[in-house]
Amino acid sequence: MIIVSGQIHIVAGGRPKFLKESLKAVSLARKAPGCIDFVVAADPLDEDRVNVFEQWGSDADLENFRGGGLGSDLRSLIVRASVQRHRISSSGSA
């Protein structure tokens, strides 16, 4: 299993546009083969931060969906990002 998680800092005032533009990707990802979960959400404390969480069955599933990555419209709104990929060997109920 693959987990992608982290934070994206958006230009001041750009978060609503970033979230709106992300809706299509979220919808497509959740229908994609191997996608277990995919979320892009507003941070509750920082108005220019977005949190991302993705859960995939495999690296191949993630790469097949991701393709070329973000479009230039979304990239232009990003100030900085810290997003990491984690390979999980086992998991269970919390």
- Name the token pair of 82: 């810290």
Backbone angles phi, psi at 9, to 5 degrees: -100, 125
The terminus-to-terminus CA distance of the chain in angstroms comes to 16
93 domain residue, yes or no: no
31 domain residue, yes or no: yes
91 domain residue, yes or no: no
72 domain residue, yes or no: yes
pLDDT in tens, 12-68: 999 999 999 999 899 999 999 999 999 999 999 999 999 999 999 999 999 999 875
90 domain residue, yes or no: no
CATH code for position 51:
3.30.70.100
Enclosing domain of residue 30: 2-84
Cβ contact 30:39 at 8 Å = no
23: Cα separation from own chain's centroid:
11
30 domain residue, yes or no: yes
94 domain residue, yes or no: no
30: Cα separation from own chain's centroid:
11
* pTM: predicted TM-score of the whole model, two decimal places: 0.88
Tokens 């990491």 correspond to 84
Q: How many domains does the chain have?
A: 1
- Name the token pair of 90: 């086992």
39 domain residue, yes or no: yes
Distances 45 to 41, 49, 51 between C-alpha atoms, Å: 12, 8, 11
What pLDDT score was predicted for residue 4? 97
